[in-house]
């Protein structure tokens, strides 16, 4: 059992939803996010329901790359060992390239890819030292193609995260270190609560249950919820550009 799990971006959305599911399964949690006050409130609510687990918190902005290494190492020292690290923190700001939103697009690129690289580096240093562990990256079904508008940069960062994760997995093949890339479909969170027309979207609880199920299987690549996204992502690879508009 992966007893102790570290999750970034755990103060809301998918990070918080996954933490709730793992807590219910009896896992100890190392949770970090920028909003420590929200994490503290969340910790209290979790311990009321699951008093036999251990939860440690750290404030972390994943774009502070030095802090990523410091926080991950602090969690390892506190728990002695970290069994699974879920790189979840991300954002979806931005707009079509060339429409005056460079700063928002840059922030998304830095958070979703460069900061993910820092987290992967810090995680893999721990796992290589321990000679065991499970690295999980939260990508997106949007990684399979390029998309318009706000997804211009977002989908590119997720494609980069997917291929980086694959490379890490090949690097440690045939070792006790496992590496998984999870591609969620559309799940209702704070990031997309204002977007009304989204195909196949599911609520947060349903989406996070599917994520945790996929993570626990420790497959190299997963699309969640499996139906319809395992089928849809295959279809998306062959759709003409004109039809991709329906997904963004």
pTM of the complete model: 0.94
Q: Is residue 154 annotated as a catalytic residue, yes or no? A: yes
φ and ψ of 89, to 5 deg: -55, 135
Candidate list 154, 186, 223, 247, residue with the active-site label: 154
Task: Say if residue 79's pLDDT is above 70.
Answer: yes
pLDDT value at position 195?
61
Beta-carbon contacts of residue 151 (< 8 Å; ≥ 6 apart):
142, 248
| Strand order across the 221-224 sheet | 55-59, 28-33, 4-8, 84-87, 133-138, 177-184, 221-224
Of all helices (H) and strands (E), which one includes residue 104?
helix 102-109
The structural domains of the chain, with segments of one domain joined by +, span 4-247
90 confidence band (pLDDT: 50, 70, 90): very high
Question: What percent of the chain is predicted at pLDDT more than 90?
Answer: 79
120 confidence band (pLDDT: 50, 70, 90): very high
Token pair, residue 235, equals 């279809």
Q: What is the mean pLDDT of residues 27-46?
A: 96
pLDDT value at position 231?
86
| Rounded to 5°, angle at Cα 113 from 172 and 82 | 45
CATH of 4-247, one of 3.30.70.20, 3.40.50.970, 3.40.50.720, 1.20.58.220: 3.40.50.720
pLDDT value at position 150?
82
Least confident of 13-22, 108-117, 208-217, 222-231: 222-231
Of all helices (H) and strands (E), which one includes residue 8?
strand 4-8
């Amino acid at each position: 059992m992966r007893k102790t799990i570290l999750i970034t971006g755990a103060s809301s959305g998918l990070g918080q939803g996954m933490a709730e599911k793992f807590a219910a399964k009896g896992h100890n949690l190392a949770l970090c996010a920028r909003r420590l006050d929200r994490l503290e409130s969340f910790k209290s609510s979790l311990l009321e329901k699951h008093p036999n687990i251990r939860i440690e918190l750290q404030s972390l902005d994943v774009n502070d790359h030095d802090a990523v290494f410091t926080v991950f190492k602090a969690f390892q020292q506190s728990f002695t060992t970290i069994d699974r690290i879920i790189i979840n923190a991300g954002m979806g700001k931005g707009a079509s390239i060339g429409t005056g939103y460079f700063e928002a697009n840059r922030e998304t690129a830095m958070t979703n890819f460069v900061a993910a690289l820092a987290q992967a580096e810090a995680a893999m240093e721990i796992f290589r030292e321990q000679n065991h562990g499970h690295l999980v990256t939260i990508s997106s079904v949007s990684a399979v193609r390029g998309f318009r508008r706000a997804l211009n940069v977002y989908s590119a960062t997720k494609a980069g995260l997917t291929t980086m994760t694959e490379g890490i997995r090949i690097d440690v093949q045939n070792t006790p270190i496992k590496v998984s890339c999870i591609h969620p479909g559309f799940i209702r969170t704070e990031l997309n609560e204002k977007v009304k027309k989204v195909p196949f979207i599911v609520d947060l609880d349903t989406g996070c249950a599917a994520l945790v199920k996929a993570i626990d299987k420790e497959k190299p690549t997963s699309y969640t919820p499996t139906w319809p996204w395992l089928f849809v992502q295959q279809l998306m690879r062959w759709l003409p550009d004109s039809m991709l508009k329906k997904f963004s």
